Structure 1
Amino acid sequence: MKKYLVLLVVPMLFALGCKEKKTETQPDQIMVTEKPKLPETVLDSLKNHPPEGMVWIPGGEFMQGAVPQDKQAMDHEKPQHPVKVDGFFMDITEVTNAEFAKFVKETGYVTVAERAIDWEEMKKQLPEGTQKPADSILQPGSLRFKKTKSSVPNLYDFSQWWEWSIGTNWKHPQGPDSNLDGKENFPVVHVCYEDALAYCQWANRRLPTEAEWEYAARGKQKNTIYFWGDDRSKLAQEANTWEGEFPVYNTKVDGFEGTAPVKSYPSNGFGLYDMAGNVWEFTQDWYNVDYYKELAAKNTIAMNPQGASQAYNPQNPYLQEKIIKGGSFLCSDSYCSSFRVSARMGTSPDSSAEHVGFRTVADPEMIME
């Protein structure tokens, strides 16, 4: 099921006068108490010997959301609210093509972008009366970025720089004739939420909560706009983003136009790479524009929050969206500026794209299993 395919080929869906609605998704998980604890001696041993490719993120308190000095902050990043998370292990890098290939080889897993599209199932999640696109379009594939030939006056119409690419998937990231030769150490892309969960199950990992992700991304910087501080001039040295006029021309000041190999830029204070730019990363939380307000209204510290109990985005009322964090190689000052730590966006769980990947986390108890 790839609803963004239909949104691209039937763009009038965004113009429909749909009533805003909240989609029921899961039991209330706004507040969660302390997690079960391992004996200190066992936990200390795990911290000193983390799983390969992971690092221990010590628990702590922080203010989640946009900092006061962030002039580009959006409403859904506000208000700041106090959060406490317990310690966890986190992948040092985004999951790479090589790591995902190992998973696929051992399990035979087929990603959503490689599966046939079931229109009867897809249309159940779209406005009544939506016309079926041509069969020639309803083919397995994923979203690929395309530069425009001239300036774009309306940056809200993403169909101007995204195209449905039949035959594009994680093994063929630039179309059916492309491959992964020389890109083993690049982040895997064209994977959707379901694919990330399948990888997690195989690896005995899970996706981070949004609170865990943001806490880890700050890397000991408690109240700054970026993980390295407040200095925007350091962006090209710190992250893979879009430098130039989006989506027309990329100056490649940071060294790359598309995705970059993991560890191409400095790590943050916790030793994590690419927590800004390169590819967006899935979290487990539902995207709800009111969630931060709900947390702040409780006037207490949120302990290990698991995200909103229901998805809600009045801009996309027919989509149940998951939160992605970190921004990507397509983020620029003029477009989304999502290389800021507090930046957040919703994306359909059943859609994949060239600029979305993931990394995993593990609780100490999971490591002991």
Structure 2
Amino acid sequence: MGDAEGVGYPADREKPQVKLSMPAFEMDQTTVTIQQFKDFVEDTGYITDAEKYGWSYVFHLLLPEEERDKHPVLPRTTWWRAVEGAYWKKPEGLHSTIEDKLNHPVTHVSRNDAMAYCKWAGKRLPTEAEWEYAARSGYENNLYPWGNELVIEREHQCNIWQGKFPVENTKEDGYLGTAPVKTFKPNGYGLYQMAGNVWEWCLNPASISLSEFQSKEADYYLTNYSKDSDDEFDTRGGSFLCHSSYCNRYRVSARHKSSAASSTSNLGFRCVK
């Protein structure tokens, strides 16, 4: 587990690599879709953090051009807009819809929301160790879930950014925002889009040493970190906004983090058990 090529960010603590073993687990082939989350909400009446706050962060190019300057800008990352009324069912704000996106990953879900869904489904979030093991799909030091080449014979393997971030996306992979969850080829374990599309919440806190996974397994993190909070937790896999010039975190060893109550256009999750 960890960065073998020396291409990670030192602050992310991708190194030194560690060897570890873990109990067997099952992982969903895809991130949770909008349809699946819709079924959960209809069954339980669950209200997400974004709905409670009344807004969520939307990537600026997903908004109509005339709308982009009407919403507060996030300092230092000016491509984000705090859009009133944006949540999983209205991903670009009150006038947007999910009707043609039910097979896309659900977004605008906090870790707290993801944990609630997992409990309903009889599953849980993966630890980083489980996530990385699954993403590697049997390879030992591969950069990506499918190998070491980002593009194979001119065919894109994932949904990330092409062009000049964050102002121009040439959409060479076909997408400006999210793609349907089975758009690209699965990895060797049959898992779809472990790179790009949306960030995926993990069970463990952010920025812990990789060596901690040698002594602590999923039950420990589930027992100690299952309550609603706004602490920082790890996310994995990158998203449709990742680009080598800005966020080279669509690699299998790459680590990122968000506060547990955060919700954005590019943040989702998948389940394990």
| TM-score bracket for this pair, using the shorter chain length | 0.7 to 0.9
Partner residue in 2 for 1:159: 77
One-letter code of the match for 1:304? E
Alignment of 1:34-73 (within 5 A): 64-67=1-4, 69-70=5-6, 72-73=7-8
Aligned mates of 1:104, 1:295 — CA distance in 2: 35
Aligned mates of 2:169, 2:215 — CA distance in 1: 40
Partner residue in 2 for 1:108: 45
Q: Do 2:151 and 2:157's aligned partners in 1 also have CA atoms closer than 8 Å?
A: no
Alignment of 1:125-140 (within 5 A): 140=54
Deviations 1:307-353 (CA, angstroms, capped at 9, x unpaired) = 6x999xxxxxxx72100000000000001111100111110101100
| Residue 144, structure 1, aligned to residue 58, structure 2 | yes
Q: 1:238 to 1:302 in 2, by over 3 A?
A: farther
Aligned mates of 2:171, 2:22 — CA distance in 1: 37
For structure 1, the 5+ residue unaligned runs are: 1-63, 118-139, 150-155, 312-318, 363-369
Aligned mates of 1:157, 1:80 — CA distance in 2: 34
Aligned mates of 1:191, 1:202 — CA distance in 2: 15
Aligned mates of 1:304, 1:284 — CA distance in 2: 10
For structure 2, the 5+ residue unaligned runs are: 66-73
Partner residue in 1 for 2:69: none
Q: Do 1:97 and 1:185's aligned partners in 2 also have CA atoms closer than 8 Å?
A: yes
Aligned mates of 2:77, 2:198 — CA distance in 1: 19
Deviations 1:7-46 (CA, angstroms, capped at 9, x unpaired) = xxxxxxxxxxxxxxxxxxxxxxxxxxxxxxxxxxxxxxxx
Q: How many residues align?
A: 254
Alignment of 1:333-344 (within 5 A): 333-344=244-255
Partner residue in 2 for 1:74: 9
Partner residue in 2 for 1:268: 187
TM-superposed deviation, 1:74: 1.4
One-letter code of the match for 1:110? I
Q: SS state of the match for residue 156, structure 2? A: helix
One-letter code of the match for 2:48? T
Root-mean-square deviation (Å): 2.4
Deviations 1:205-259 (CA, angstroms, capped at 9, x unpaired) = 1000110000001111111111111113339621000011110111111111100
Q: Do 1:66 and 1:78's aligned partners in 2 also have CA atoms closer than 8 Å?
A: yes
Partner residue in 2 for 1:325: 236
| Residue 304, structure 1, aligned to residue 217, structure 2 | yes
Q: Do 2:86 and 2:93's aligned partners in 1 also have CA atoms closer than 8 Å?
A: yes
Alignment of 1:284-295 (within 5 A): 284-288=203-207, 291-292=209-210, 295=212
Q: SS state of the match for residue 85, structure 1? A: coil
Aligned mates of 1:211, 1:229 — CA distance in 2: 19
Alignment of 1:1-369 (within 5 A): 64-67=1-4, 69-70=5-6, 72-75=7-10, 76-115=13-52, 117=53, 140-147=54-61, 158-234=76-152, 237-288=156-207, 291-292=209-210, 295=212, 301-302=214-215, 304=217, 320-362=231-273
One-letter code of the match for 2:2? G
One-letter code of the match for 1:142? S
Q: 1:158 to 1:355 in 2, by over 3 A?
A: farther
Q: 1:295 to 1:320 in 2, by over 3 A?
A: same
Q: 1:157 to 1:291 in 2, by over 3 A?
A: farther
Q: Do 1:97 and 1:186's aligned partners in 2 also have CA atoms closer than 8 Å?
A: yes
Q: Percent identity?
A: 44
Q: SS state of the match for residue 361, structure 1? A: coil
Query: TM-score normalised to the size of structure 2?
Result: 0.87
Partner residue in 2 for 1:367: none
Deviations 1:269-295 (CA, angstroms, capped at 9, x unpaired) = 10000100000000011012x523x54
One-letter code of the match for 1:85? M
Q: Do 2:125 and 2:271's aligned partners in 1 also have CA atoms closer than 8 Å?
A: yes
Query: TM-score normalised to the size of structure 1?
Result: 0.65
